[in-house]
Amino acid sequence: MTILVDGHLGSGVIYKRDGIIITNEHVVRSAKDKKVKVAFADGQQTAGQVQAADAVSDIAIVKVERSDLPAADFQHELPAVGSMAIAIGSPLGFENSITVGVISGLNRVLPAPGEQKESEKKYPAVDVIQTDAAINPGNSGGALLDGQGRVVGINEAYVPPTEGAVSIGFAIPSATATDAADQLLRTGKVQHAYLGLQVTTLTPEIAEQLNAQITSGVLVLQAAPDSPAEKAGISPGDIIRTFDGTPIASDQTYLSRLRKVSPGDEVTLTVRRGPRDITVKVTTTDRPG
């Protein structure tokens, strides 16, 4: 279906037959008083209310007063690379449009320029599905289906042609989307593991300035006061090299790895401090605010 918000539009997927719809948080972010309009494939249009939203997972819940809706079948296992992908939505206002392609890749991390804070999401810090099924403005929040008509992802973003891309789109995996949706329905929020670090990718230029003898990792710019990382002794100037044994090559890799753990989990970081590596164990908390 189509979700209309203050002069722009996006798409949505019926999650529960009693009027619960999943869409992207960025689709409904500007909704005044959390009110939207929802246009269905049967021609009906009704008022919708944004019940809850989470910017980090980019998932939101919209409620409409209908109890006769056909809930979608969500496939929680990741699709196979090369398998069929069908994107449904309302790109550029063309309602109920379908584009077809394949699953191009899994566990992608969307590029985000500059420094990244865990608490300030610029782009999704999640492992997303890449597809060549055309995704355009207005597809956001719609379904990415497999060949059996099951929802394997929630369409989220694309790389525009101005950046030299052709058919590079991304979707939030169904398991990630429904987990966030279920938490939003239960508590109105989504829990995200938090360490309290602001990091940036260690480039060769930065490594040379620091006289570091390594060329891969993320440089700690700041550890938030009273955060788990500060309490564990991590400080600006440290370079994080591995996260639970996974090499960390960029701030994107760091944020992606952090998204794989839950609040309360203990993680092990390999940190370069001065001329040597040290091991630091940190217990994550829920992201504040």
Catalytic residue, candidates 57, 97, 104, 140: 140
Catalytic residue check, 140: yes
The catalytic position among 58, 132, 146, 251 is 58
Contact, 127 vs 109, CB < 8 A? Answer: yes
Q: Is 26 a catalytic residue?
A: yes
Catalytic residue check, 30: no
Q: What is the CA radius of gyration of the chain?
A: 20
Note the helical H segments in the chain.
Answer: 25-28, 174-187, 204-210, 228-231, 251-258
Rounded CA-CA distance 248/271 in Å is 11
| Total Cβ atoms within 10 A of residue 249 | 15
Residue 83, Cα to own-chain centre: how many angstroms?
22
Q: How far apart are CA 214 and CA 194, in angstroms?
A: 26
Asked whether 219 and 202 are in contact (CB, 8 A), the reply is yes
Q: What is the dihedral of CA 117, 120, 122, 126, to 10 degrees?
A: 70
Residues belonging to the active site = 26, 58, 140
